[in-house]
Structure 1
Amino acid sequence: MRSLRRGRRPLLIAAGAVALAVLAAPTVLALFALVTVAEALLATGLVVLVGAVAVLALAVRRTRGALREVSQEIRAHTRTVTETLGRDRLETIRALDATRARVNRLSSHSLPKLSREINRAVTTQGRHDYEQHVAWTELSEHLDTAPFMPPLRGWAASPDVLRVLVGHIDRLRPELVVEFGSGASSVWMGYALRRAGGGRLVAVEHDVRYAELSRALIASHGLDDIVEVRTAPLTEIGAVTVTVGDERISTADRWYDTSVLEDLEGIGLVFVDGPPKATGRHARYPALPTLLPRCTEDVVFVLDDADRPDERAIGDRWLAEHPELHRTEAHAEKGAHVFSRKGV
């Protein structure tokens, strides 16, 4: 199309020249009396005809050339489009092949592995659920509890760790049990102390609202003569830096207000289930060094959530600082480590 536009100017020039020649021819011939008027008109007509033919021939030639250029441009564009489409098709095929290969790998490797992991997780969870149901049933029958007991697991202690605690209460018949944290476990241990024929439980709770709920729960089971919930806000203590493996950590700088513990003596069992993990690293460490001087010779400390690395490291510190202690790992859903003096 650009070629047609470029050819338009020469055609106009040629047409203008022909027009001038036609206009000038009669006048020139008449001036020189070379031809008659009729001959001049005939000559003019011939000139016009020849000029028109020449202009038409030139236009045809120009048009043919422009058409050739347009045809070449069309072929070039067609070739470019075809090559582009070919590359896109090739890239699409390669992408589809890569996707197909990933799907095949997923089908042959990842899906079977994922299926095995899901089956293993379901099996493990099923085994945990069964073991907790057995522990709950054994506790309920052994303690002759009320028909509707507070739920366990989750934030509360699991039935299997309570079974460990009740076993120690039956064996030791402690005069005093201390629990860091309160709630459902306080009720269950209250029933265990009642069945053992004596003793009392002091549950230490840092959250005021939760302490009130625990007191109401204990009263609803008629255990407020056995179980006491003491509110002890978390207060500042001196944080220390300790080595855990290859890591240097700063321990929690808050623990329970120890003023609520000052009157406690002759402690025979301690259940360490607080403060919460969010308090800081090794948040439960102070329980043993703080209470051990107030305990009986055959005291037992039970540390809950012992499958967590932090709790295991706490136990390692206790053993390193008190070599007279011995650790036993009780089978429990969330892990439970039992500490007692050697030979007891």
Structure 2
Amino acid sequence: MPLLVNSVMLLMLLYIFYKLRAAHLLLYDLRDQSRSDHTSLFRQLEALQGLYAELGLRNSLPPTRGWAASPDFLLELTRHARSARPLTVVECSSGISTVVLARCMQLNGIGKVLSLEHDPHFAAQTRDQLRRHNLQDWAEVLDAPLEPHLWGDESWPWYSLNLLPQRVQIDMLVIDGPPQATRTQARYPAGPMLFRRLAAEATVFLDDAARADELAILERWREEFPSLQQSARACEKGCAVLTKSI
């Protein structure tokens, strides 16, 4: 009997030790996650401050959390647009990036943003923001409902290009849509649909490039469009940059 009691006590002590160790490790994970979150938040605040400084906006920008583009990605777009001075910028999905890029065009004194938007509500919101910042002459939100496009044996819901000028030469392409919930690799069609319209030395920016879907898309594009050189920028959600060689 004493042996049984001792065995039970030992098992209880081992169980308590196991639970304490698990709690200890969890606390370390929470500490590390908290540090990572604080560092990430600080970087986004720095990028947002840099964005306001470079754009010199009088009115505040829309929120940059949730589905919206992050400040560090927007800052990458701003710096490229200000230095490269693109004549035609095309966006897949409208929003805060439309306002930011339109302001870049205004500061450059040249260029136009054409933003494909499938959701009428978001399109109206973006147009309101453009008017609020007096940028409506520098960007146009194109109503582009998602419609089926066929490649091989697969159907892809992607933007209608009926309102995009047929002969447009794209100097800067920003891909931040359609939403991931549309289907797997939802942003893949931007390649076969728009890359042939890229101007010489054009640059493509892909947001959310750290996600598995976007990584798979980049691999497909690497095989199908070898003339586009791929690189990455250190952004919160991932940022891939594709550059067209001459």
Normalization by structure 2: what TM-score?
0.92
Which residue number corresponds to residue 192 of structure 2?
289
Structure 2 residue 207 is matched with structure 1 residue 298: no
CA contact (8 A) 1:266 1:296 kept: yes
Deviation, structure 1 residue 100: 4.3
Instruction: Name which structure has the greater RCO, CA cutoff 8 Å, separation 6+.
Output: 2
Q: Residue 135 and residue 266 in structure 1: after superposition, are their counterparts in 2 closer, same or farther (change >3 A)?
A: same
Which residue number corresponds to residue 80 of structure 1?
none
Deviation, structure 1 residue 288: 2.3
1:192-250 per-position Cα deviation (integer Å, ceiling 9, x unaligned): 11112211101111111111111112111111111111111111122557xxxxxxxxx
2:63 aligned residue (129, 151, 156): 151
CA contact (8 A) 1:202 1:230 kept: yes
Structure 2 residue 168 is matched with structure 1 residue 273: no
Q: Which blocks of at least 5 consecutive residues in structure 1 are unaligned?
A: 1-85, 242-250
Larger Rg computed on CA atoms: 1
Query: For 2:53, what is the secondary structure of its paired residue?
Result: helix
Deviation, structure 1 residue 263: 3.4
Query: For 1:238, what is the secondary structure of its paired residue?
Result: strand
2:97 aligned residue (172, 179, 185): 185
2:144 aligned residue (232, 248, 262): 232
| Structure 1 residues 302-313: aligned runs within 5 Å | 302-313=205-216
Measure the CA separation in 1 of the matches of 2:152 and 2:69: 29
1:127 aligned residue (39, 63, 66): 39
What is the identity percentage for the equivalent residue pairs of Structure 1 and Structure 2?
33
Q: Residue 252 and residue 279 in structure 1: after superposition, are their counterparts in 2 closer, same or farther (change >3 A)?
A: farther
Deviation, structure 1 residue 165: 0.7
RMSD: 2.0
1:197 aligned residue (89, 109, 112): 109
Structure 2 residue 145 is matched with structure 1 residue 208: no
Measure the CA separation in 2 of the matches of 1:240 and 1:312: 21
Q: Which stretches of structure 1, 4 residues or more, deviate above 6 A after TM superposition? A: none
2:80 aligned residue (168, 186, 199): 168
CA contact (8 A) 1:180 1:272 kept: yes
Structure 2 residue 154 is matched with structure 1 residue 218: no
Structure 2 residue 243 is matched with structure 1 residue 340: yes
Measure the CA separation in 2 of the matches of 1:140 and 1:252: 41
CA contact (8 A) 2:86 2:171 kept: yes
Query: For 1:222, what is the secondary structure of its paired residue?
Result: coil
Higher helix share: 1
| Structure 1 residues 53-64: aligned runs within 5 Å | none
Measure the CA separation in 1 of the matches of 2:164 and 2:10: 71
Measure the CA separation in 2 of the matches of 1:103 and 1:198: 69
1:50-107 per-position Cα deviation (integer Å, ceiling 9, x unaligned): xxxxxxxxxxxxxxxxxxxxxxxxxxxxxxxxxxxx9xxx89x94x764543222121
AA in 1 matched with 2:171:
G
CA contact (8 A) 1:181 1:273 kept: yes
Which residue number corresponds to residue 58 of structure 1?
none
Query: For 1:237, what is the secondary structure of its paired residue?
Result: strand
Normalization by structure 1: what TM-score?
0.66
CA contact (8 A) 1:252 1:279 kept: no
CA contact (8 A) 1:288 1:301 kept: no
Q: Residue 162 and residue 252 in structure 1: after superposition, are their counterparts in 2 closer, same or farther (change >3 A)?
A: farther
Measure the CA separation in 1 of the matches of 2:86 and 2:44: 26
Measure the CA separation in 2 of the matches of 1:252 and 1:205: 20
Greater displacement, 168-177 / 97-106: 97-106
Measure the CA separation in 1 of the matches of 2:190 and 2:213: 14
Deviation, structure 1 residue 130: 0.7
